Amino acid sequence: MLRIAVPNKGSLSETAAEMLAEAGYTGRRDSKDLHIADPVNGVEFFYLRPKDIATYVGSGALDVGITGRDLLLDARMPGAREIEALGFAGSTFRFAAPSGRFGELTELDGVRIATSYPGLVDAFLDERGIAVDLVPLDGAVESAVRLGVADAVADVVETGTTLRQAGLEVFGPVILESEAVLIAGPSDAEGSETLLRRLRGVMVARRFVMIDYDLPVALLDDAVKIAGGIESPTVSPLRDPEWVAVRVMVSRTRVNQVMDELYALGARAILVTAIHNARL
């Protein structure tokens, strides 16, 4: 069976479990369960600390896993590799320090930097020839400067509110744009392609909806310019030979704009339907 590592807690855990459920897999019902077998789908789930997943997968102990790109790079496991971005848990890593303290990245040479991701930050700076004294911390790194254990920090930045409250401001380049990713180990395990295909189907279903509408045949070419679909719309004849029924996939972010444009063109009976899963 395919052995899959899944985050057992944290920001990655809930959405990862939801995606796997939408992909047709049976996961755990009790948050204390560390191992669940799903023989119908030929998989086993191992619930692990997100930071440990890249180590287990990279060593070959498990076949594939869901973790953050930041955690994958921080683990520095040569056998672990990203195979698909999953489109959730996005984050940005930046440097931060007291206002005006640093301006350029080169000014970090020789200073103390606190971070929860020493492997990631060390690799980033090493590529640029900058040597620093890393101070590894397990969370709440924004307090490190105020408490005198570091001169700057490298951390996740969302709104920047937490950093500003600690008297810090971001500077320098983006260290990493991270999100949840599916990772694989040294070998391609049987069943991993099926897992990947299913997760892609879930992502498609989350990004698109189906629009159905009726339209005069003479306006079909103009309607296709508004919404062309993934390949092309499905067009079916109606009892009135001058009208057709059209079905097309549309991005969720554009659905109301597309409906407005189709209606203005002359389409009627415009309906939107959610897509629960897909294979493209």
Predicted confidence (pLDDT) per residue in 163-179, tens digit: 888 899 999 999 999 99
Query: What does the domain layout of the chain look like in residue ranges?
Result: 2-88+179-190, 91-177, 208-274
Coil, strand or helix at 29? coil
Mean pLDDT of the chain: 95
Structural Rg of the chain based on CA atoms: 24
For residue 203, the one-letter residue type is M
Residue 158 in this model has a pLDDT that exceeds 80: no
CATH architecture of the domain with residue range 2-88+179-190: 3-Layer(aba) Sandwich (3.40)
pLDDT at 31: 85
The size of the chain, in residues, is 280
User: Domain 91-177 - what CATH class?
Assistant: alpha beta
Residue 93 confidence class, pLDDT cut points 50, 70, 90: very high
Taking the CA atoms of residue 82, residue 84, residue 87 and residue 88 in that order, the dihedral angle to the nearest 10 degrees is -40
Strand arrangement of the beta sheet that strand 152-157 belongs to: 133-136, 112-115, 152-157, 91-98, 168-178
pLDDT at 107: 95
Residue 160 in this model has a pLDDT that exceeds 80: no
Predicted confidence (pLDDT) per residue in 233-258, tens digit: 999 999 999 999 999 999 999 999 99
* CA count, 13 A, side-chain hemisphere, 3: 15
> Pairing relation of β-strands 133-136 and 243-251?
unpaired
Nearest to 198 by CA among 41, 82, 68: 41
Same CATH topology for 2-88+179-190 and 91-177? yes
Predicted confidence (pLDDT) per residue in 188-218, tens digit: 899 999 999 999 999 999 999 999 999 999 9
pLDDT at 271: 98
Predicted confidence (pLDDT) per residue in 38-78, tens digit: 999 999 999 999 999 999 999 999 999 999 999 999 999 99
Share of the chain above pLDDT 70, in %: 100
Predicted confidence (pLDDT) per residue in 98-143, tens digit: 999 998 899 999 999 999 999 999 999 999 999 999 999 998 899 9
User: Domain 208-274 - what CATH class?
Assistant: alpha beta
pLDDT at 184: 97
